[in-house]
């Protein structure tokens, strides 16, 4: 009988022994800074006070804003708070937010066992890459049926990252992934509620717990992820072909958010970033976007700051009128009723265009005198690490202030994990 091809679990076990390439590690360090800034701001802005108090428990792992918890509880709290503002990194092919599930799990265990920064970065890089590949393997059917890939695929990425960090052997790691298959969960019905960021926190906690149980000798199905009646076959996974470790790594196509609103709006906002338009001469503005976003972020008449974050017309008007869409503070109830913005919104037309990808948008502005201006952007357009670093440092400054943003930059680019932990604690 011919040998059976390796399952995704087999591939992940082999991949877990890989040393990430330098460019992947560099991207991970940028996402680490972005994750930390989002978490610090999330702890300040979002009202999760009672949740944090109830879930700390005992232990010495730092949680955002101060206090400590056990590693599993710290991963839960920090994963939830870092996704509270929905401003953290995403991956369009994976359809999820990679860092919020993986990084809090890795940092909690790294602090618990005294692991060095380099080991934490290696583990997080592998975990993020693994979560993206699991997301690709599960495919669009899994997402479309209602599962939240940040939580489901993210839990497997968090488990692999934690298992790598603690040095689990192949046998223990296989069982940790099998245990994760019984715990990974998260549904899109929670979008728009506090349970959406909780999904990320639960994935991070699962990564810690599944790893510790596997290390302690608890056994599970030999292939709880990809085997018969495993997670993929029972959760509408398509079983798409993936190759973890193949160059270029998927982490290099992570998309960071530079606007404090739905990611479906970002290509349009980037297209308008450098638009030099005489607003008095505008006749109509036509926005073209991928059909997926029409039911996600096309609220035509927003009344609240939250609704503004899901409105093409509102955010386009804000951008053209000079409001900072990268600032959380810009999205208020009052700004939806601003007279200049509502007047400009009335000239907007938003249409779907299946020829565009989910990361592309086009804006056509008709001016008096038959003049037409066209703007286009693709979020997947190449961006150097230096350019990305500059944009992320500016974003962090807007979220947590210049001094703390500078400290985060130094800590995430350095080799002292304690320096980063102290910033998270100060909040």
CATH number, position 46:
1.10.4100.10
pLDDT digits (tens, 9 = 90+) for 187-234: 999 987 899 999 999 999 999 999 999 999 999 999 999 999 999 999
Shared-domain flag, residues 279 and 334: yes
pLDDT value of position 193: 86
Report the percentage of the chain scoring pLDDT > 90: 87
Q: What does the pLDDT read at residue 81? A: 96
Q: What is the largest CA-CA distance in the chain?
A: 75
CA 160 from centroid of its chain's CA atoms: 18
Are 392 and 337 in the same domain? no
**Cα distance between residue 224 and residue 271, in whole Å:** 44
pLDDT exceeds cutoff 80 at 2: no
- Short-list 3, 11, 75, CA closest to 242: 11
Mark whether 193 and 273 lie in a shared domain: no
pLDDT for residue 427 is more than 80:
no
Based on the fold, state whether residues 282 and 154 are members of the same structural domain. Answer: no
Domain for residue 414, yes or no?
yes
pLDDT of residue 134: 98
For residue 65, pLDDT beyond 90 = no
Query: pLDDT category, 1, cuts 50, 70, 90?
Result: very low
Q: What is the mean pLDDT of residues 387-406?
A: 96
In a domain, 1, yes or no: no
The answer to whether residues 180 and 210 touch, using CB atoms and an 8 Å cutoff, is yes
CATH number of 336's domain: 3.30.1330.120
Is residue 421 one of the residues assigned to a domain?
yes
Reported as a pLDDT band with limits 50, 70 and 90, residue 23 is very high
pLDDT digits (tens, 9 = 90+) for 103-149: 999 999 999 999 999 999 999 999 999 999 999 999 999 999 999 99
Per-residue pLDDT tens digits for 146-192: 999 999 999 999 999 999 999 999 999 999 999 999 999 999 999 87
Q: Is the pLDDT of residue 102 over 70?
A: yes
**DSSP string across 60-87:** SEE-TTS-EE-HHHHHHHHHHHHTTTS-
- Residue 356: name the closest of 372, 374, 373, 379 by CA: 379
pLDDT at residue 386, rounded to an integer: 95
Do residues 161 and 299 both lie within one domain? no
User: How big is the CA angle at 93 (ends 381 and 72), to the nearest 5 degrees?
Assistant: 115
Q: Flag whether 399 is in a domain.
A: yes
Q: Could you tell me if 374 and 389 lie in one domain?
A: no
Residue 2, in any domain of the structure: no
Residues 209 and 284 in one domain: no
Give mean pLDDT, residues 399-414. 97
Q: What is the pLDDT of residue 4?
A: 78
The total number of structural domains in the chain stands at 2
The boundaries of the domain holding residue 288 are: 263-378
Are 215 and 294 within one domain? no
153 burial via Cβ count (<10 Å: 0-12, 13-18, 19+): buried
- Average pLDDT value for the chain: 95
Check whether 95 has a pLDDT greater than 60.
yes
The answer to whether residue 96 sits within a structural domain is yes
């Amino acid at each position: 009988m011919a040998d059976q091809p390796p399952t995704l679990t087999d591939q992940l076990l082999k991949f877990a022994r890989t040393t990430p390439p330098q460019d992947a590690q560099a991207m991970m360090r940028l996402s680490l800074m972005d994750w930390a800034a989002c978490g610090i701001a999330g702890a300040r802005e979002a009202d999760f006070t009672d949740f944090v108090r109830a879930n700390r428990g005992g232990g010495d792992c730092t949680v955002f804003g101060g206090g400590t918890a056990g590693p599993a509880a710290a991963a839960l709290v920090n994963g939830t708070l870092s996704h509270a503002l929905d401003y953290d990194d995403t991956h369009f092919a994976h359809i999820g937010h990679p860092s919020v599930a993986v990084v809090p799990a890795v940092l909690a265990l790294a602090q618990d066992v005294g692991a060095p920064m380099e080991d934490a970065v290696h583990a997080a890089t592998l975990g993020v890459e693994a979560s993206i590949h699991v997301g690709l393997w599960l495919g669009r059917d899994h997402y479309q049926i209602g599962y939240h890939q940040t939580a489901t695929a993210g839990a497997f990425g968090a488990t692999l990252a934690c298992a790598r960090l603690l040095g689990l052997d192949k046998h223990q790691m296989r069982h940790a992934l099998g245990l994760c298959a019984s715990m990974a969960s998260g549904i899109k019905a929670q979008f728009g509620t506090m349970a959406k960021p909780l999904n990320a926190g639960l994935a991070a906690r699962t990564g810690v717990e599944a790893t510790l149980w596997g290390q302690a000798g608890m056994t599970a199905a030999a292939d709880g992820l990809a085997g018969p009646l495993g997670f993929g076959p029972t959760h509408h996974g398509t079983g798409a072909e993936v190759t973890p470790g193949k160059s270029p790594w998927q982490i290099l196509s992570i998309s960071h958010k530079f606007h404090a609103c739905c990611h479906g709006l970002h290509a349009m906002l980037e297209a308008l970033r450098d638009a030099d338009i005489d607003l008095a001469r505008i006749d109509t503005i036509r926005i073209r976007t991928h059909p997926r976003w029409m039911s996600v972020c096309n609220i035509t008449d927003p009344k609240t700051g939250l609704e503004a974050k899901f409105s093409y017309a509102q955010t386009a008007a804000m951008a053209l009128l000079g409001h900072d869409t990268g600032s959380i503070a810009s999205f208020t109830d009052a700004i939806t009723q601003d007279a200049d913005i509502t007047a400009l919104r009335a000239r907007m037309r938003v249409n779907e265009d299946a020829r565009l990808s989910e990361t592309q948008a086009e804006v056509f502005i008709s001016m008096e005198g038959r003049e037409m201006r066209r703007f286009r952007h693709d979020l997947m357009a190449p961006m150097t690490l230096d350019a990305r670093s500059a944009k992320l440092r500016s974003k962090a400054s807007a979220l947590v202030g210049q001094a703390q943003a500078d400290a985060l930059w130094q800590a995430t680019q350095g080799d002292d994990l304690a320096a980063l932990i102290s910033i998270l604690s100060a909040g």
